[in-house]
Amino acid sequence: MISNLLQSDMFLLTLTIGLYCGGVALYRRLHLAVLHPTLLAFVALIVFLKIFGIDYTHYREATRILDFLLGMSVVALGYLLYEQYERLRSEALPILVSVVVGSLVGILSVVYIARAMGADHVLLNSLAPKSVTVPIAIAISEPLGGITTITSVVVFLVGIFGSIVGPRLLRKCGIRNLMARGLALGSAAHGIGTARAVEMGAVEGAFSGLAMALMGIITALLVPLLEKSCY
């Protein structure tokens, strides 16, 4: 009876939401970077599934509605962009250049660092799309022979790190421009960074969402080209 309850769709969905909300409350109270709500929920769910022997495929099916809601939240970023339309139109070239440069730096930096540490070609292809959201990163990595599980974990960790360190680093560097702050978070930390940018303000959230989308497109184009010519 208890086993059936623990594996029920409603329980797993409620548990996921509850763990995240609990993580948010704890993070707001203690303000410790290691207590990032996404990281806490991620670790807690892994432990729970392991202890009770619940298959990940079953868990994913039970919480599929969260994927749907996540997609709707991304679409909702379009409204923030609409509010910034005039500013977006006047700054189109700088935005595009900054995201292209961000994509190049993001790909080549991790590839050359990993190669210097002895990583093989398969691992390089697994790491190269680290700065884009998981579905796009997997779509880039898999055809090149990358290991998608490594890609998924690295993308998640990059997002967590960027959302925690990014705002503080931007303040330390004296970057006050709201558009620049949003572009930086979206380019470096994809969806998790964009969620943090939305918390910072509407302008940061809008441009972070734009950067996240552009990074996905540009990285998908650049990685196969750089894989043939640079590593």
pLDDT for residue 5: 66
Asked if 159 and 104 sit in the same domain, the reply is: yes
Asked if the model's pLDDT at residue 231 lies above 70, the reply is: no
Average pLDDT over residues 62-76: 79
Give 22's pLDDT tier (boundaries 50, 70, 90).
Answer: very high
| Position 68 in a domain | no
| Position 12 in a domain | yes
Domain span including residue 175: 79-229
- Compute the C-alpha angle 171/174/179, nearest 5°: 80
Residue 132's SS3 state is coil
Asked if 118 and 222 sit in the same domain, the reply is: yes
- What gap in Å lies between CA 75 and CA 69, rounded to an integer? 10
Question: Which residues have CB under 8 Å from 76's CB, separation 6+?
Answer: none
- What gap in Å lies between CA 77 and CA 207, rounded to an integer? 9
| Position 67 in a domain | no
pLDDT for residue 140: 93
Asked if 108 and 23 sit in the same domain, the reply is: no
pLDDT for residue 69: 79
pLDDT for residue 84: 79
Q: What is the pLDDT of residues 112-139, one digit of tens each?
A: 999 999 999 999 999 999 999 888 899 9
Q: What is the pTM of this model?
A: 0.81
| Domain stops at, among 32, 62, 92 | 62
| Position 3 in a domain | yes
Asked if 223 and 135 sit in the same domain, the reply is: yes
Q: Judge residue 81's burial from the number of C-beta atoms within 10 Å of its C-beta, 0-12 exposed, 13-18 middle, 19 or more buried.
A: middle
